[in-house]
């Protein structure tokens, strides 16, 4: 609707195409330079949102995993994407691991933004933004080992709960945007560390920094190719070592 109201009429079919990207119509879409997406959450059951594609390499009933696969497949060499996805995409085993591994092979998954709870859908749903580029900056046609390191910004731990009365706004993203850098493909010079949110008397360490990177070897060998990477301690959590024995 926003496109139509601003006169973006597109090609002969219009700028807005009616169809199911996880159906056969999706397999006929042209490759894209840029994909910005917030795929629908939920299972594949019911209605026009069912998965009927027969060209996806990894068969799955998980809509978000299917959309992720569709998105990185539809990017042109050197194309860029930013996609909002729930936590289950980052840790689901089986075919989920296969799709994440394929993503990191074919694309440079350079950044993950862990979003606070309460800003998408129902309260408590945890989401992330994945930023990736097809191929590498040196070789857009590369389709193996494209991801060398993944930068993660934790904007979830020790953040307030957002709601209509306490809305999430652009100011909450300023620190992340500064560290992301000016280059959309994630190739700006980056340095670990983000402690602006800490009280002055608290020591600045890697464990309480919101901004860190993790090598591909670490993700494969230590995390089993899951991307649900967290390291910060919740201030409201109780350390088992501090519990008194009854």
Q: Higher model confidence: residue 13 or residue 90?
A: 90
Confidence band for 1, pLDDT divided at 50, 70 and 90: confident
Q: How far is CA 177 from the centre of its chain?
A: 15
**Does residue 48 have a pLDDT over 70?**
no
**Does residue 47 have a pLDDT over 70?**
no
Whose CA is closest to 65, among 34, 32, 22?
Answer: 22
Question: Per residue in 127-163, pLDDT tens?
Answer: 999 999 999 999 999 999 999 999 999 999 999 888 8
Matching residue, tokens 């994407």: 81
Q: For domain 79-227, is the CATH number 3.40.50.150?
A: yes
84 by DSSP, 3-state: which?
strand
User: What is the model's pLDDT at position 213?
Assistant: 98
Q: Nearest 5°: phi and psi at 160?
A: -70, 165
User: What is the model's pLDDT at position 119?
Assistant: 84
Whose CA is closest to 121, among 162, 66, 175, 150?
Answer: 162
Q: Higher model confidence: residue 14 or residue 146?
A: 146
Q: Nearest 5°: phi and psi at 36?
A: -115, 120
Q: Nearest 5°: phi and psi at 55?
A: -110, 0
The full DSSP string for 15-66 is: SS--S-TTSHHHHTSPPEEEEEE-PPPSBS-SGGGS---S--SS--SBHHHH
Round to whole Å and give the CA distance between 76 and 160.
Answer: 38
**Does residue 208 have a pLDDT over 80?**
yes
**Does residue 122 have a pLDDT over 80?**
no
Name the average pLDDT for the chain: 88
User: What is the model's pLDDT at position 17?
Assistant: 75
User: What is the model's pLDDT at position 120?
Assistant: 73
Round to whole Å and give the CA distance between 238 and 24.
Answer: 50
Q: Give the tokens for residue 31.
A: 């490759």
Q: Give the tokens for residue 140.
A: 């857009």
Whose CA is closest to 68, among 30, 118, 110, 21?
Answer: 21
Round to whole Å and give the CA distance between 29 and 168.
Answer: 34
User: What is the model's pLDDT at position 45?
Assistant: 52
| Percent of the chain's residues with pLDDT above 90 | 64
Q: Higher model confidence: residue 199 or residue 136?
A: 136
Alpha carbon of 68 to those of 9, 120, 153, 203, 235: distances in Å?
27, 18, 20, 39, 33
Round to whole Å and give the CA distance between 150 and 35.
Answer: 19
User: SS3 letters for 161-212?
Assistant: CCCCCCCCCHHHHHHHHHHHCCCCCCCCCCCCCCCCCCCCCCCCCHHHCCEE
**Does residue 199 have a pLDDT over 50?**
yes
Residue ranges of the domains in the chain? 79-227
User: What is the model's pLDDT at position 99?
Assistant: 98
Count of residues in the chain = 246
Q: Could you tell me if 75 and 134 are in contact, meaning their C-beta atoms sit under 8 angstroms apart?
A: yes
**Does residue 43 have a pLDDT over 70?**
no
């Amino acid at each position: 609707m926003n496109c139509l109201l601003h006169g973006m009429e597109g090609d002969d079919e219009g700028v807005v195409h009616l169809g199911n990207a996880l159906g056969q119509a999706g397999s006929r879409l042209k490759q894209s330079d840029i994909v910005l997406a917030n795929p629908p959450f939920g299972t594949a059951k019911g209605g026009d949102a069912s998965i009927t594609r027969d060209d996806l390499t990894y068969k799955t009933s998980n809509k978000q995993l299917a959309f992720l696969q569709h998105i990185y497949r539809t990017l042109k060499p050197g194309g860029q994407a930013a996609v909002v996805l729930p936590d289950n995409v980052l840790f689901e085993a089986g075919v989920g691991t296969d799709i994440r591994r394929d993503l990191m092979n074919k694309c440079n998954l350079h950044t993950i933004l862990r979003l606070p709870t309460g800003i998408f859908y129902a309260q408590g749903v945890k989401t992330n933004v994945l930023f990736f580029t097809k191929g590498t900056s040196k070789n857009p046609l590369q389709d193996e080992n494209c991801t060398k390191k993944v930068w993660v910004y934790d904007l979830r731990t020790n953040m307030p709960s957002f709601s209509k009365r306490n809305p999430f706004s652009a100011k909450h993203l300023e620190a992340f945007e500064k560290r992301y850098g000016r280059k959309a493909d994630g190739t700006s010079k980056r340095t670990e560390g983000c402690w602006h949110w800490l009280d002055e008397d608290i020591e600045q360490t890697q464990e309480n920094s919101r901004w860190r990177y993790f090598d591909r070897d670490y993700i494969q060998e230590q995390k089993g190719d899951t991307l649900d990477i967290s390291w910060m301690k919740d201030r409201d959590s109780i350390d088992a070592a501090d519990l008194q024995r009854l």
